[in-house]
Amino acid sequence: MKEQIEQLTAQIQELKCRTEKEIEDARVRLLGKKGEITRLFEEFRTVSPEVKREFGQKLNVLKKLASDKIQELKAEVAVSASAAAPSDDVSMPGDPLPLGSRHPVSIARQEIVNIFRKFGYDVAEGPEVEDDYHVFEALNFPPNHPARDMQDTFFVSAGHPNPLLLRTHTSSVQVRTMERMKPPIRVICPGRVFRNEAISARAHCIFHQVEGLYIDEGVNFADLKQAILLFAREMFGADTQIRMRPSYFPFTEPSAEVDVSCNICHGKGCNICKGTGWLEILGCGMVDPNVLEASGIDSKKYSGFAFGMGIERIAMLKWQVNDLRHYFENDMRFLREFSNCVEV
């Protein structure tokens, strides 16, 4: 028995296991019901009383050695298993955070502003909730003009001599600028406007305009034409032509509407320009002397021109978008089309 105990002691001290399975097998082989140490305890019952004490102690030491070794091996395998487990790969690319992009209306607005900035225009802004005076009265609208009708304009407060309303055009910012500045004045006024319109492919109740105003001594219609031509060529391409058609606005005299040569068919006629070869882009004219005088500018000394354009309209023509509603629905498929747009 002594020999067996010594052999087993040596074996246990040498014992090496790489897996939990090997440890479990070793435990069963040594300490299991039919294990070698268990068998020695059974044999121990038969040893003579003189050596019982000695072997009893030895067997207990052996059993403790075996169970300690098993625990030790278990701990080692657990450590090496966790070291070998695949850890986070820090070199892997992270979850991509999609970059947003600017809305096409913002891109078009910025392009228009950039072009006129190059021509020396400043940017002016005014309130969206305006009064009748700045939207209509000071711009020479007669008291019964249809634009003042509830059907066309959203009123905030009615029944007042100067009711509050949502501005229907950015021309109101012309008036505020003339009230605050002395000529020479050269500003563009981008902003949001509101009209009581049924929503369709061509109309919306909220949209954006850019107003332009230039007042100085001796400003004439040729200056207006040249400013619009230069703008159209920057915006739609160097070979763009313009044409002016006589029109009417209460705040300008004479007034005109401006068309640009169709940038899709180059004047040949297509379904975007409805076969005409021309696309309407803005209204303009020489500032009516009544408008200058209403804002305290001497119409004998100064003259000026003004123009106004819809940003959505310019954006639709530039990018051939056939339905205005796309600009307001925030469909990501539409917005992503503009994610690579670079402003001029």
Task: Give the residues lining the site for ligand DAH (CB under 6 A).
Answer: 169, 171, 211, 249, 252, 283-285, 306-308
Residue 224 token pair: 């207006």
Q: Rounded distance, CA 28 to CA 37, Å?
A: 10
Residue labelled with tokens 């009123």: 155
Strand, helix or coil at 78? helix
Q: Which residue is nearest to ligand DAH (CB)?
A: 308
| Alpha-helix runs per DSSP H in 97-189 | 104-118, 132-135, 171-180
Closest approach, Cβ 304 to ligand DAH, in A, equals: 10
Contact 299, 289 (CB under 8 A): yes
Return the closest-CA partner of residue 324 out of 200, 142, 208, 233: 200
Tell me whether residue 17 or residue 213 sits nearer to ligand DAH (CB atom).
213
Residue labelled with tokens 């207990």: 60
Closest approach, Cβ 256 to ligand DAH, in A, equals: 8
Tell me whether residue 59 or residue 228 sits nearer to ligand DAH (CB atom).
228
Tell me whether residue 126 or residue 283 sits nearer to ligand DAH (CB atom).
283
Relative to beta strand 185-194, strand 206-216 is antiparallel
Q: Rounded distance, CA 163 to CA 132, Å?
A: 6
Closest approach, Cβ 337 to ligand DAH, in A, equals: 28
Tell me whether residue 59 or residue 256 sits nearer to ligand DAH (CB atom).
256
Tell me whether residue 23 or residue 139 sits nearer to ligand DAH (CB atom).
139
Closest approach, Cβ 171 to ligand DAH, in A, equals: 4
Name the strand (E) or helix (H) holding 194. strand 185-194
Closest approach, Cβ 145 to ligand DAH, in A, equals: 12
